Structure 1
């Protein structure tokens, strides 16, 4: 791997943990590889990983696991390897990008329709509960009481159906479209039970504080800051369900914070992509 002097941004953000290598790889593939569908060298990926503090061993493991999962395919030139996206990775990245954009477009005129799932797993499938939690959280579902999942986005029903079928949960799931009858627990109270809005708001505050004060001093520093910012934005669907405006508190700051973060992303994008292309050419 060519030796390139690396710079960091002024007041650089806290480096991501080695356990996030898989997430960072998806960020690199989605941000820099997916738009052009060109292949990328292992050395270019390792350079990006190293610049944000992820050890080479963890980076190589993430690449190997992505290949084993069918996200990327290998092309070799002697002892060197380059990688291209597979159709399944293309679909995964496209859907992830759609979900990230969906957070920013909170629905102003909500029709009051909920997608409701009740999933009851037997003791023999306790290990699947965490998988269900992660999958439904990613789709924007909240969990107000054990076994009950709600989502105010009617268009997520099809994705929920696929998840239920792929995880073999059909016989354990009751799925309904529903509207409030106007009595019992109010919809705002239901939202408060299903999602921790204070924690979501605090998460946005931390991200704005972390990235808003950065002043990258070079294209390379901008490149690394951009990777970390995009990585955080791509995690948001698991944290923020993108609730319709009528269900949000009057003083909700999440939308404003998300807009600020995306302004930074747009500001850094051109320099970051130019640096990626420059590094790719040098490694080539």
Structure 2
């Protein structure tokens, strides 16, 4: 039985990375191409889409090919290990709920001429990815102390950006500042949608097995938390849905884990490879 369709934004590469994080990260192994096909078929992804995604990930430096006789295996590159390690950190250590009592914020302003419109668009995308919200024209804010240097690899771009770390003069006004800079309804809506899917007695009943359920679960959750600016909980509306959603995510993941491991032992054909590739 085919799995239900993916939540919006969950692409085949996202699902493959989730599988790699589960089955390969931290182990010096490469996985047979047929195992990838078998896993992705459970998720309703066609053989053609899986093969093209594997090829694209090789071309982008995320996977390395390892031939053993007539069989082709794919293992992680250092670049992929770094991407997956960052995802693991966001999932299990940073989490969705920010209870940090630190009252500092990062303020960022930039000004780029019309002739550099593409760079301006790229910078805005990077800022939103890093948790910044647009407070007003030219001023962006993010909770905590953000290392902005990683967002500005272009030295010329740095010349047009000013960064400050500060605390609000009127702490009581932070709630309004947050509502002005972020679309809280949209953020809450994604957690509420997650809860509708997973906070049920039997989530995804059409999924073929618990491996498919767990890969859907982790992929969907990671996309949500990566887009969440992690505003401190004390500045958010009461009963913020991320709190319950994170509890459900961890409960479902742990609940599925024993059966998932047994399935992986059956479907994953792997060979050892050196850490250097």
**What TM-score range do you get, normalising by the shorter chain?**
0.7 to 0.9
The equivalences for 1:254-265 within 5 A come to 254-265=242-253
CA shift, 1:219, in A, is 10
The TM-score normalised by the length of structure 2 is 0.85
- 1:169 is paired with a residue whose SS is helix
CA distance in 2, matches of 1:200, 1:18: 15
CA RMSD of aligned residues (A): 2.8
The TM-score normalised by the length of structure 1 is 0.83
> What's the counterpart of residue 249 of structure 1?
237
> Alpha carbons of 1:124 and 1:37: their partners in 2 closer, same or farther (altered >3 Å)?
farther
Greater shift in the superposed pair: 64-73 or 225-234: 64-73
> Alpha carbons of 1:112 and 1:90: their partners in 2 closer, same or farther (altered >3 Å)?
same
CA distance in 2, matches of 1:62, 1:130: 27
CA shift, 1:73, in A, is 0.9
Q: Does 1:76 align with 2:64?
A: no
CA shift, 1:243, in A, is 1.6
> What's the counterpart of residue 149 of structure 1?
140
CA distance in 2, matches of 1:272, 1:264: 12
> Alpha carbons of 1:205 and 1:177: their partners in 2 closer, same or farther (altered >3 Å)?
same
- 2:99 is paired with a residue whose SS is coil
Q: Give every structure 1 segment of 4 or more consecutive aligned residues whose post-TM-superposition deviation is greater than 6 Å.
A: 216-219
Q: Does 1:230 align with 2:221?
A: no
Runs of 5+ in structure 2 lacking a partner? 272-277
CA shift, 1:237, in A, is 2.9
CA shift, 1:146, in A, is 4.0
Q: Does 1:186 align with 2:173?
A: yes
> Alpha carbons of 1:218 and 1:121: their partners in 2 closer, same or farther (altered >3 Å)?
same
Runs of 5+ in structure 1 lacking a partner? 1-6
- Equivalenced residue count is 269
Aligned partner of 2:35 among 31, 38, 44: 44
CA distance in 2, matches of 1:59, 1:130: 31
CA shift, 1:196, in A, is 1.4
> What's the counterpart of residue 103 of structure 2?
112
Greater shift in the superposed pair: 52-61 or 260-269: 52-61
Q: Does 1:171 align with 2:159?
A: yes
